[in-house]
Amino acid sequence: MKIVAVCACPTGVAHTYLAKRSLEKAAEKLGHQIKVEAQGALGIENEITLQEVRDADVVILAVEVGIAKRDRFEGKPIVNIPIQTVVKSPETVLKKIEEKFLSR
């Protein structure tokens, strides 16, 4: 499965990057392609392109604050999830997404 994700916490520092790393490691372990964008204190890092959005099967928004450029995901299946859940249980999150979107 091809996944794009945005992580953003209120301060834009610790949890943003913990969630990003957690998703990347879990996706690699489960055999998924993922690109994770961080939006935080330093702005947008590892920005997701429009082509990557088009190619994605699903969008994960692990955000606790408003994010920039949210409209680029319009029309795609979006999973909104608390950033803390992604940090604590990234594999569980991805497996639930697999069940929902791969069984279509």
Residues with active-site annotation: 9
Structure tokens at 87: 């940090």
| Closest of 45, 46, 79 to residue 62, by C-alpha | 79
Helix and strand totals (H; E) in the chain: 4, 5
CB neighbourhood size of 8 (10 A): 24
Which parts of the chain fold into alpha helices (H)? 14-30, 50-55, 83-88, 90-102
